[in-house]
Amino acid sequence: DVFYGRERLTAELFGKLAGTGLVIVTGASGAGKSSLLRAGVLPALARGLQLPGTASWPRMVITPTRDPLTELATHLAAFAGTDAAAVRRELAAHPDQAHISVRQAVIANAVRRADRGPVSSYAERLVLVVDQFEQIFTLASGEERAAERQSFVIALRAAATYPAGSAGVPPALVVLAVRGDFWDRCAGYPELTSAMQEGQFVVGPMTESDLRRAITGP
């Protein structure tokens, strides 16, 4: 409610989200990527004003930590009310099938809430924000973590791009927030190159008018 000064940028990012399932938000350290997503985009999604129907969509924010695949599995399991170890084993063995796991989690969460109609009518998509994505390079570094980093990236891409369910759309909108100085490291993953070309969103410094609104708006 007190987040001002990034209204234009928020609207522009929604335009990017509407056109692709995987978006990479980048910019210099301290540019405001996290606040744009956490205080701007997610609340706007909850209001359902920018993209119709998104008010009921579940939202999840994670950071990769030292064990990104476990972190993803733990959040999905908590969201769906299932076993985290089982979800992690499935993601590790078949990361390219993550869209199925995400779809199952969305349905399980809706069933637990008991405020939706028949399962076949569920049209929600998970909005998954991976903040500080560069942690896969800074915390989960080293050759011994290479396979896990790869599986994590493959799983995110599958959730955002592979259709699942009767609607024939991917079960998740995935937004990665990554510092600009790690852009070349991201380019080393073929699964991210399409998003880097088509789903890139750059957060630059605030203009004088934006800064004025950020101070006086609240």
Q: What is the pLDDT of residue 114?
A: 65
Whole-structure pTM value: 0.92
pLDDT score at 21: 82
CA distance 181 to 207: 22
Any residues with CB less than 8 A from the CB of 13 and at least 6 apart, and which?
23, 25, 36, 40, 41, 201
Quote the pLDDT of residue 19. Answer: 67
Q: What is the mean pLDDT of the chain?
A: 90
d(CA 98, CA 162): 9
Q: What is the mean pLDDT of residues 78-96?
A: 95
Long-range contact set of residues 169-172: C-beta below 8 Å, sequence gap at least 24: 169/125, 170/21, 170/99, 170/125, 171/99, 171/102, 171/103, 171/106, 171/125, 171/126, 172/21, 172/99, 172/102, 172/125, 172/126, 172/127, 172/128
E strand residue ranges, 101-147: 126-130
Q: Is 171 in contact with 102 (CB distance < 8 Å)?
A: yes
11/30 Cα distance (integer angstroms): 20
Report, as an integer, the average pLDDT of 89-118: 85
108-146 pLDDT, tens digit each: 888 877 655 554 445 688 999 999 999 999 999 888 899
Contact (CB, 8 A) for 42 and 112? no
| Residue given tokens 């796991």 in the structure block | 101
User: Bigger pLDDT: 149 or 123?
Assistant: 149
pLDDT in tens, 4-44: 999 999 999 988 887 678 999 999 999 999 999 999 999 98
Identify the three-state secondary structure at position 164: strand
